Amino acid sequence: MATKNGTTDRAVENRFPPQEIDPKEIAGEVLRVVRECCSAIRNHTAHAYHRQVLPDGREILRGSIYRGRRLDVLERDQYTCVRCGSRSELEVHHIVERGVARDDRMQNLETLCAGCHDVEHPERIPRRCSADRSRGLCAWRTDTA
């Protein structure tokens, strides 16, 4: 290491000898950090505002975290209505209504087709999307047909 007058400071060089860098160790460390980040995202720990756990264990999810949970429920139920077996116009239904006790845990969610969901909520006006009626697709529905 050079000092202001151009000489080498041997004390500094002796304390911090040059080390060879092992590319395998660097790659391993990078992979470890990437795995930790992916785990944090998967467990939603980085999105504390979008995931709230109440003292009684209920979860309240918002935004992309809720959309991810919705996809988890659809995958769990194999993209099939749990009541009639239909595979079109699927929706995720809260068993205990959101207005009664907001709970977005997996055990409180199930996959229903639009018809079964309308039967479950007779007081609700059946929702139909006018955006693309010709194909039966809607942003808030999953149509696998």
- When pLDDT is cut at 50, 70 and 90, the band that residue 111 belongs to is very high
Which tokens is 124 given? 């609700």
pLDDT of residue 6: 55
Distance CA 76, CA 38 (A): 21
What mean pLDDT is predicted for residues 110-123? 90
User: 69: closest CA among 124, 112, 9, 109?
Assistant: 109
Based on the number of CB atoms within 10 Å of its own CB, is 89 exposed (0-12), middle (13-18) or buried (19 or more)? buried
Distance CA 37, CA 15 (A): 34
List, for residues 10-43, the tens digit of each pLDDT value. 655 666 666 777 878 888 888 888 777 766 666 6
Amino acid at 100: V
> Cβ distance 141 to 89 under 8 Å?
yes
